[in-house]
Amino acid sequence: MHETAKTEAGTTLPPPLAPGIRGFASDWASDQRAFKNVSWGKAMMWIFLLSDTFIFGCFLLAYMTARMSTTVPWPNPSEVFALNIGGHEIPLILIAIMTFVLITSSGTMAMAVMYGYRRDRKKTAVLMLLTALLGATFVSMQAFEWTKLITEGVRPWENPWGAAQFGSTFFMITGFHGTHVTIGVIFLIIIARKVWRGDFDNERRGFFTSRKGHYEIVEITGLYWHFVDLVWVFIFAFFYLW
């Protein structure tokens, strides 16, 4: 056991740490909040997002490897993802709208977190529900995009525009991201309902209810949602612009 030291002013200093791994383990075991000013809920969300980053990173690396190694021509995204509007083929118009909707949802989510810490229940709940609506709109447009490509003959094992790997990578990456957005929408609705009912002010028992007057779960939900939006920026750049 290390003894505490005192400065000339009489203030107590924390005990020195043991060197190496032993000191590291001792520091982490010294308090139930190893990140000091960061709650376990927020820390665990950051760890989850870090692990999810590796998964999405592997998917995008697999996509780049497949695209650069195939000997069959890769489809032109401007042609594959074009929509016929008024007799004119408009490239990437749906993807641009989807991106705008998702980026806008990040703004509404940030405002929800701000009003959450101000303990403004109604504005927080309304902004979270608006974020969920934008997320559901994004998923709906993605479902339309999938339906369009499937009816045009795109499958995970074949593709009428060129390399067969296009279908498998497209459905895998966008489907995995769409699943994240769908889970986020469900979670947003659940938390918004609890905020609207005043569960965080009345300390009502139930799942995801933190201590009285504490709206940190809104920020944790926001971390997840911002991550999903950020991942889409990379998917948009690699899949639709390259």
Q: What is the domain extent for residue 218?
A: 40-241
Kindly state the average pLDDT of the residues 124-130. Answer: 95
The whole-angstrom separation of Cα 174 and Cα 154 is 14
Report pLDDT digits (tens) over 101-114. 999 999 999 999 99
Identify the CATH number of the domain in which residue 113 sits: 1.20.120.80
DSSP one-letter string for 171-211:
HHHHHHHHHHHHHHHHHHHHHHHHHHHTHHHHT--STT--S
Do 147 and 60 belong to one domain?
Answer: yes
Whether residues 10 and 120 share a domain: the answer is: no
- 141: in domain: yes
- Per-residue pLDDT tens digits for 175-201: 999 999 999 999 999 999 888 887 777
233-240 contacts, C-beta under 8 A, 24 or more apart: 233/99, 234/56, 234/60, 235/60, 235/173, 235/174, 235/177, 236/95, 236/99, 238/60, 238/63, 238/64, 239/63, 239/77, 239/170, 239/173, 239/174, 240/77, 240/81, 240/92, 240/95
Task: Please report whether residue 134 resides in a domain.
Answer: yes
Do residues 4 and 107 share a domain?
no
Judge if 21 and 54 occupy the same domain.
no
Does 218 have pLDDT greater than 80?
yes
Please indicate, yes or no, whether residues 151 and 237 belong to a single structural domain of this protein. yes
Same domain, 20 and 97: no
User: Is there a single domain that holds both residue 62 and residue 142?
Assistant: yes
Q: Enter the tokens of residue 228.
A: 């999903």
124 and 66 within one domain: yes
Q: What is the total count of domains within the chain?
A: 2
Domain identity same for 232 and 129? yes
The model's pTM: 0.80
Confidence (pLDDT) at 12? 55
Examine residue 35 and state whether it is found in any structural domain, yes or no: no
Residue 216 lies in a domain: yes
Count, in order, helices (H) and strands (E) of the chain. Answer: 8, 4
